[in-house]
Structure 1
């Protein structure tokens, strides 16, 4: 019977070889959860955090459906372990699974040029200032649809204060862009970047991201960048990340 594991490490072997921040967070018990087909001797498991589902072990249709049913947004970004899982995702009854390519970047903290990041963080339009996310700014991000993902995975605020790192851009006292913690494991975060639609293409996301990267490096946290689009990968390149590999995912909707 499918069960959320109280001891996620029991499923660790099913995710062998994966270094995803999200999977590590679930296995550590820092964020998210591991659901498996058996609480004691799992042969199939999924790591679930935010909108993401990472599959492991033997393909299991009931487990996959249970994981996608837990989505509160109506969208699950499902990352298959192999081709057998991909075939199962594509055949989910009553759901649409749209293939999507994502882009992983290399994970080497020594590749970043801190002076370059300081320059990017300082390159702001007149009237815009960067601030670390504190409690009032956390609430301000949560109150807007476009900025909610900057903080929503670490709710309530004391949890964000404990685990999260975030930087926002303020213009006339209003949040217009930000870079923050989507997922946190022991020694890394997964970066979330968002900008208000009418303030895009002004260098705000780049400045916030550079400032967040510096804050993470100062804390010995690796600021991982996993790109959802080619545009996101291009921004990562401006910040000093190197492409590592493209990989398959599915945008799963419907029920």
Structure 2
């Protein structure tokens, strides 16, 4: 049997998840967003953290509760763990429904983010394009949501995103063609989400809008964390100034199968 963990129980999970270097985990453990599940509210030995499609597991993988947690998933999941035991358990429980691929983690060091360099990237905005901070009007625009379902989806509502999140959009001919937002938030900063419309790629728009978001975070004393989903994301991060730390295994689990 598993139980949902409140903020007090989440505090007990900090040592369990300390080996997984993710700000998304912090956003849940610190009580900003997401859910946590455990096998025991008093003395948890296995736990799950879910923020959107990202799901993290830690603790003793060789238990019945671990298997129950591994089935406590959204329809589409990106699962991340820190041990061979958990990887083997995922591959056993979800055999036939998983794809393993690499994501990319960057060093969390604000000294790598040179403001003068980042400012120079912003100055290349093409004529006919406009940058706007995301407000309610933009957040409700269909062209904004078509770029990524994850721009604001981790927040309770659009109002919640406006109050606690941050983001910028590039507008062309009345449509949002590129945007960068806080996918999630934690005490020390945000996790960045960036996307551009397929017809507007290779114009430097993602670089510009991400750079504006990053500078805003740095001005506020918040760290804009970057975690790459693919090699294109890695190249963009490195162009801005992030230093690649490592690649790591991620499991895409199609729970509809």
The normalised TM-score by structure 1 is 0.93
Q: Does 1:64 align with 2:70?
A: yes
| Alpha carbons of structure 1 residues 61 and 102: separation in structure 2 relative to 1, 3 Å | same
Q: 1:210, CA displacement in angstroms? A: 0.4
List structure 1 segments (4+ residues) > 3 angstroms apart after TM superposition. Answer: 141-144
Equivalences for residues 36-51 of structure 1 within 5 A = 36-51=38-53
Cα distance change of structure 1 residues 203 and 65 upon mapping to structure 2, 3 Å threshold: same
Q: Cα–Cα, structure 1 residues 135 and 252, in superposed 2: closer, same or farther, change >3 Å?
A: same
**Cα shift at 1:141:** 5.5
Aligned ranges for residues 223-234 of structure 1 at < 5 Å? Answer: 223-234=224-235
> Helix, strand or coil: the match of 2:150?
helix
User: 2:43 aligns to what SS in structure 1?
Assistant: coil
Whether the 8 Å CA contact 2:145–2:151 is kept in 1: the answer is no
Partners of 2:164 and 2:90 lie apart in 1 by 32
* Contact 1:142–1:151 under 8 Å retained in 2: no
Q: Specify the alignment match of 1:5 in structure 2.
A: 5
Instruction: Name the SS of the counterpart of 1:232 in structure 2.
Output: helix
Secondary structure of 2:71 counterpart? helix
SS at 2:253 equivalent? strand
* 1:111-150 mapped onto 2 (5 Å cutoff): 111-140=112-141, 144-150=145-151
Q: Which residue of 2 aligns with 1:92?
A: 93
Shift of 1:170: 0.5
Unmatched 5+ stretches in structure 2: none
Cα separation, 2, equivalents of 1:107 and 1:18? 14
The separation in 2 between residues aligned to 1:220 and 1:47, in whole angstroms, is 26
In the alignment, the residues of structure 1 paired with residue 246 and residue 234 of structure 2 have an alpha-carbon distance, to the nearest angstrom, of 11
State the SS of the aligned residue for 2:125.
coil
SS of residue paired to 2:93: coil
* Alignment match, 1:219: 220
CA contact (8 A) 1:167 1:180 kept: yes
Measure the CA separation in 1 of the matches of 2:180 and 2:144: 16
Alpha carbons of 1:108 and 1:176: their partners in 2 closer, same or farther (altered >3 Å)?
same
Matches of 1:202 and 1:179, distance apart in 2? 15
**1:146 CA displacement:** 2.4
User: 1:10 Cα deviation (Å)?
Assistant: 2.1
Change (3 A) 1:239 1:143: closer
Which one of the candidate residues 15, 18, 21 is aligned to 1:19? 21
1:249 paired residue number = 250
- Counting matched residue pairs gives 250
| Root-mean-square deviation over aligned CA pairs | 1.5
CA distance in 2, matches of 1:175, 1:38: 46
Shift of 1:93: 4.5
Runs of 5+ unmatched residues, structure 1: none
By how many angstroms is 1:63 displaced? Answer: 0.9
CA distance in 2: counterparts of 1:182 and 1:30, whole angstroms: 12
